[in-house]
Every structure is written in structure tokens, then in C-alpha cells.
Amino acid sequence: MTIKAVIFDFGQTLVDSAEGFRRAEKEAQDKLFKDLSLTLKDTFLENYRRIRKQFHDRSNFSRKSIWNEVYYYHCLPADVDLLEIWESEYWDTVKANSKLFPEATQILETLNSRYDVALITNTQGQKSNGTHRISQFPELEKYFKVIIVAGEKGIPPKPNPQPFRLCLQKLDIDPSEAVYVGDDYRIDICGAQDAGLHPVWLQHRSVRRNWPEVKTDAPIITRLDELLDLNKLFP
């Protein structure tokens, strides 16, 4: 097996945004609950999480779209301008509480001496391009030969195979020559596998998360430095 490129997801793969998302979600839920003038918080949260999951299952991560659907469910009109303000505040909270995994920079630098390194990440669903939180870490860009923000500029989001194929085309390699590293089973692992790449499932040791219990042939790692020995992962 000849590997020419290692391609990464961004959030929860190179950058730990778990605390940022927890805070942003809590703030958003409190704003919605108050503005909807509801009284049963548990019922509201149950419906909110169900609607959010429906959007995420379609790879739609626009907070404004999710929240607009919450208002629609409660038969109330949404203030679109207010939702856009809340969405900006949401991503500001995520950004302010995001940090690189400690080993990320060193691993990217080392892998660059051996392979082409690239990035495929889904858009955050905001209406303007260039708003993805990768812009908060400009020091990373030098490590990536190709950066694809799927969901922008007519590129469908992962797990659609198109962003994977576009990245491979830009790298001028075959799918079998690429490893894809990500944290989300459906979006990253299944998406990469369906596109013919070799997926590696990162379940980072520092991330508190209920990982889905599924059967997969993809190697599972808990530290980024395990990528330094791909021959061990793919004997």
C-alpha cells in the first residue's frame, strides 16, 4: 500500500472545540427558550435536540436554519435578523473556546516531510464564505497543500464524495493513495470510505464524548502521533 497524502478533518481532529460548542449551545438554548416564552425547559430541549439532529443528519450546520425550524415547530415567526446576530455570537463563543490539540502542529510538520498534507472540513453553515473557524489558526495553513471547505462555493458537504474527489484531484493522486483522518463516523469515516480513501477514526483521548458503537474496518486512534507510523495502522 502506497500512501502519498494524509488528509485531515478540522474540528475535534486538529482543534478541540468541545468546550466552545458546549458553551455556545447552552447560550443559544437559553436565548431561544426565553424568546419563545416557554415554561417546560425539558420538553423544549427534547424538541430542540431532535430538530438539531435532523439538520446535522443532512449535514446542514447552519444554526440560523436550525433555530428558524425551532420557531416554526412552535408556530411562531422568527426574527431573521436576530437569528443572524445570535449565529455570529454562537461562532464567536466556539472560536473563543477552541484550541489546537497540543501535538497537532508538530504532527503536521512531521507528516509534511513525508506526505502531501491537506484539509477537508465542512462549512459552519454561515451565509458568507471565509467564516470557517480555521481562519482563527492561520499558522496551520502553511502545512496544507490543499484546503477544501465543503458546503461553500457549490461544493456539497461531507459525507458527499465530491469534496473528497476534489481534494484528490488537486493533489493529483488516486483515492487508494490517501489517508483521511476524522472524528465523525458518518461524515468522516463513512464519507472517506465511500470515496475510496483509507479512513482513520480519531477518538481523541482528551475529548469527552459518547462514540457510536459500530463495526468498522477503519483503524481507531486516540492520539495524533499514532499517525507517524502508518505502516502499523495499515499493515
- How do the domains of the chain map onto residue ranges? 5-17+98-233, 19-96
Question: By the 8 A CB rule, do 5 and 118 touch?
Answer: yes
Q: How confident is the model at residue 203 (pLDDT cuts 50, 70, 90)?
A: very high
CATH class as words, domain 5-17+98-233 = alpha beta
Specify the amino acid at residue 109.
E
Which alpha helices (DSSP H) does 97-125 contain, by range? Answer: 104-112
Q: How confident is the model at residue 130 (pLDDT cuts 50, 70, 90)?
A: low
Would the pTM count as exceeding 0.85?
Answer: yes
The more confidently predicted of residues 149 and 128 is 149
C-alpha neighbours within 13 Å on the C-beta side of residue 102: 4
pLDDT value at 51 more than 80: yes
Which alpha helices (DSSP H) does 36-174 contain, by range? Answer: 41-57, 63-73, 80-96, 104-112, 161-171
Helix/strand/coil for 29? helix
pLDDT value at 182 more than 90: yes
C-alpha neighbours within 13 Å on the C-beta side of residue 115: 23
The more confidently predicted of residues 132 and 191 is 191
Specify the amino acid at residue 216.
T
pLDDT at res. 139: 86
Q: How many residues does the chain have?
A: 235
Helix/strand/coil for 5? strand
* Cα separations in angstroms, 44 against 29, 51, 176: 9, 11, 46
For the beta carbon of residue 30, count every other beta carbon within 10 angstroms.
11
For the beta carbon of residue 73, count every other beta carbon within 10 angstroms.
13
Quick one: how far is CA 20 from the chain centroid?
13
Bridge partners (DSSP) listed for residue 138 = none
pLDDT at res. 60: 87
